[in-house]
């Protein structure tokens, strides 16, 4: 009897320990995320970032019956932009909020399970609102970056801190807003702060402990390192070339912030990170291409070495950050990557070697280049489109003002696009706007804005700024578009049910036909949607979720456009939908 009891207890303990471990998120699960619709384990609904779901219960025929299942408020007095993509695992939703908050919510009922609210110091310097775009899951951990440039790993069940690492100095302008990426067993992160002269980099860590494995700065001149198990830089792990394409000392504060994080393709074993503007914005201070700013950089995840890079805006003079997500897909039997750049051009690039395959405009007005030379891969600059040199002094201390399109907030910004292998189209949330921009003298001061430029953003059209566009990567044709009054700032999701979901600052989550753009359903969430939707299936039921809460860069930096949309109200909640049983 007694022996039986002990045996049972031991059995329970072993079983308990085993099941707790077996329930953790594995590398195999993350690699299969895009195809396994019961979970959403990564930003991008799969590390490739296609944001395509194979689910079909909610489809063009049934979507009209989509109704709210529950809504959860982030609470408190802190609202502002909610750009977070929720993750779904083990019956829980993990969703981040503004001001470095994260919540675990019961996936079926919307009941709060725990909340972690990061204590932020005074003096954080997020350039573009106090946003966070989401977390990463690994084993029993949920990991996210904070506005004071720390990484926090919490226990998925309790919300207790398991490890915490300082990534960099927030007082120098570093912050973190992107969702971390898990690639081949490593935790990959970037940094934000390109408007303060930080140096962008990609870091790989052990996701279980937070220990650094390698680090690769994105501004050439700085060295990258591999680290041993004691955290010491190893001699043979050094990468980089001093001063490459950066004459003088400006590379020391050269920008290239990796603020939107990256994607990973398990077939190429490469992680793709976009890099932001070279610093300062005033391009006359830094002759040359300014590697690797405003680029897509493909990194070998084992070594941190740069396998290839492609610079979308060499010698950027308009803050056309090249951070936008590189989404890999199959085209004519080859693995390609698509990227809708802030500079107005859509690029199709060989994911293995970085060779440019196609490049075409996805907005109607582009003033800085007349096109992209497919042979050399370089833009054909329109020299008069570059704001003038302040040392030439046409306007006192200011350089000559030019009108430039797109505006620096971009033909597309942080809001991720989607790709459907079913329609073979990209769905791109684009914006049509321009700016007056001029250069000014500037010198670097730690923690100060490092721009050397002034600007005012203007709408280009009376009736719309945003345009949801279906784009054929082979032909460069816009197959359909849906115009939107306010600039689009949320992401996109597409499904095998023939649908495209996206949100608007006016508060709607919309579902349109993936083939035609015809609106089939919409729901008013109560505040602006500036985040990407997700979908998953639990038992027999398909769910759709999106966070709601107007904010982000537009109200802060948008000039005339910000005035035009200042009627929009803030918020902070996540909505979940399913089909009505009636």
Output the CA–CA distances (angstroms, integers) from residue 202 to 143, 185, 187, 214, 308, in the order listed.
16, 15, 10, 8, 14
Catalytic residue chosen out of the listed positions 129, 319, 321, 341: 319
* Contact string 455-474 vs Ca ion (x = CB under 5 A): --------------------
Within positions 263 to 302, which residues make up the interface with Ca ion, using CB under 5 A? Answer: 276-277
Residue pair 222/200 in contact by the 8 Å Cβ criterion = no
By C-beta, is 293 or 525 nearer to Ca ion? 293
The verdict on whether 540 is a catalytic residue reads: no
Looking at residue 391, the DSSP 8-state letter turns out to be G
SS3 label, residue 158: coil
DSSP string, 84-122: PPPEEETTEEEEEETTTEEEEEETTT--EEEEEE--PPT
Q: Compose the 179-198 pattern: x for residues touching Ca ion by CB under 5 A, - for all others.
A: ---------------x----
341 belongs to the binding site for Ca ion (CB under 5 A): no
What is the smallest separation between the CB atom of 257 and Ca ion, expressed in angstroms? 7
CB of 259 to Ca ion, least distance (A): 8
Closer residue to Ca ion, CB minimum distance, 129 or 321: 321
**Nearest residue to 94 (alpha-carbon basis) of 66, 75, 79, 116:** 116
Closest C-alpha among 532, 535, 536, 511 to residue 523: 511
Q: What span, in angstroms and rounded, lies between the C-alpha atoms of 275 and 198?
A: 12
- The closest residue (CB) to Ca ion is 277
Q: What is the DSSP letter of 392?
A: G
| Spatial strand order in the sheet of 499-503 | 52-53, 492-495, 499-503, 508-513, 519-524
| Interface pick for Ca ion out of 148, 319, 432, 440 (rule CB under 5 A) | 319
The pair of three-digit structure tokens given for residue 31, joined into one six-digit string: 């690699």
Q: Give the span between the Cα atoms of 270 and 419, in whole angstroms.
A: 19
d(CA 430, CA 432) in angstroms, rounded, equals 7
CB of 275 to Ca ion, least distance (A): 10
- Shortest Å distance, C-beta 64 to Ca ion: 41
- List 83, 165, 168, 321, residue binding Ca ion (CB under 5 A): 321
Q: Which of 168, 165, 144, 169 is nearest to 154 (CA)?
A: 144
Nearest distance, CB of residue 149 and Ca ion, angstroms: 17
Considering beta carbons, is residue 414 or 495 the nearer one to Ca ion?
414
Q: Which is nearer to Ca ion, 197 or 533 (CB)?
A: 197
**In the bound complex, what is the minimum distance in angstroms from residue 213's beta carbon to Ca ion?**
28
3-state secondary structure 440-472: CCCCCCCCCCCCCEEEEEEECCCCCCEEEEEEC
Helices (H), 219-372: none
Find the shortest distance in angstroms from Cβ 128 to Ca ion.
8
- Convert residues 402-431 into a mask of x (bound to Ca ion by CB under 5 A) and - (unbound): ------------------------------
Question: Which residues are catalytically annotated?
Answer: 319
Task: Tell me which residues touch Ca ion (CB under 5 A).
Answer: 194, 276-277, 319, 321
């Amino acid at each position: 009897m007694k022996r039986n009891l002990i045996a049972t207890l031991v059995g329970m303990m072993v079983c308990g320990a085993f099941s707790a471990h077996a329930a953790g998120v594995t590398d195999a699960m993350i690699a299969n995320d895009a195809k396994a619709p019961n979970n959403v384990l990564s930003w991008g609904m799969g590390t490739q970032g296609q944001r395509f779901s194979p689910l079909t219960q909610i489809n063009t025929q049934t979507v009209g019956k989509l109704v709210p299942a529950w809504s959860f408020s982030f609470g408190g007095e802190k609202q502002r932009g909610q750009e977070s993509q929720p993750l779904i695992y083990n019956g829980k939703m993990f969703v981040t909020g503004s001001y470095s908050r994260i919540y675990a919510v019961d996936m079926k009922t919307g009941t709060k399970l725990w909340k972690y609210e990061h204590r932020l110091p005074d003096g954080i310097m997020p350039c573009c609102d106090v946003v966070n775009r989401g977390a990463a899951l690994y084993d029993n951990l949920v990991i996210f970056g904070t506005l004071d440039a720390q990484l926090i790993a919490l226990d998925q069940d309790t919300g207790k801190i398991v490890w915490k690492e300082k990534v960099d100095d927030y007082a120098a302008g570093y912050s973190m807003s992107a969702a971390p990426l898990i690639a081949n067993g490593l935790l990959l992160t970037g940094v934000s702060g390109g408007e303060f002269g930080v140096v962008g980099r990609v870091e790989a860590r052990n996701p279980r402990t937070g220990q650094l494995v390698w680090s690769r700065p994105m501004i050439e001149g700085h060295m990258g390192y591999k680290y041993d198990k004691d955290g010491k830089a190893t001699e043979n792990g050094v990468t980089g070339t001093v001063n490459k394409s950066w004459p003088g000392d400006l590379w020391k504060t050269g920008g290239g912030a990796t603020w939107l994080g990256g994607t990973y393709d398990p077939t190429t074993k490469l992680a793709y990170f976009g890099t932001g503007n070279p610093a300062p914005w005033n391009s006359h201070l830094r002759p040359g291409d300014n590697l690797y700013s405003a680029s897509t950089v493909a990194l070998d995840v084992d070594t941190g070495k740069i396998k290839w890079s492609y610079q979308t805006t060499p010698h950027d003079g308009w803050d056309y950050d090249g951070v936008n997500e590189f989404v890999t897909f199959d085209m004519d039997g080859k693995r390609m990557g698509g990227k809708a750049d802030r500079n107005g051009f859509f690029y199709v690039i060989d994911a293995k070697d970085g060779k440019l395959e196609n490049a075409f405009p996805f907005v109607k007005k582009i003033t800085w280049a007349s096109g992209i030379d497919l042979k050399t891969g370089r833009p054909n600059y329109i020299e008069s489109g570059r704001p003038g040199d302040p040392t030439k002094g046409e306007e006192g201390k200011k350089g000559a003002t030019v009108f430039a399109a797109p505006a620096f907030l971009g033909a597309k910004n942080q809001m991720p696009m989607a790709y459907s292998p079913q329609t073979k189209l990209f769905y791109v949330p684009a914006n049509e706007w321009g700016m007056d921009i001029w250069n000014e003298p500037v010198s670097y001061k730690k923690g100060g804005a490092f721009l050397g430029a002034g600007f005012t953003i203007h709408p280009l059209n009376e009736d719309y700024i945003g345009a949801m566009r279906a784009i054929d990567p082979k032909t460069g044709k816009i197959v359909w578009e849906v115009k939107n009054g306010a600039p689009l700032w949320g992401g996109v999701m597409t499904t095998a049910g023939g649908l495209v979901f996206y949100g608007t600052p006016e508060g709607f989550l919309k579902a349109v036909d993936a083939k035609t753009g015809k609106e089939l359903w919409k729901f008013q969430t109560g505040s602006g949607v500036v985040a990407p939707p997700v979908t998953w299936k639990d038992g027999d039921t398909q769910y759709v979720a999106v966070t709601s809460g107007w904010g982000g860069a537009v109200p802060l930096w948008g000039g005339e456009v910000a005035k035009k949309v200042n009627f929009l109200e803030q918020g902070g909640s996540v909505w979940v939908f399913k089909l009505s049983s009636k």
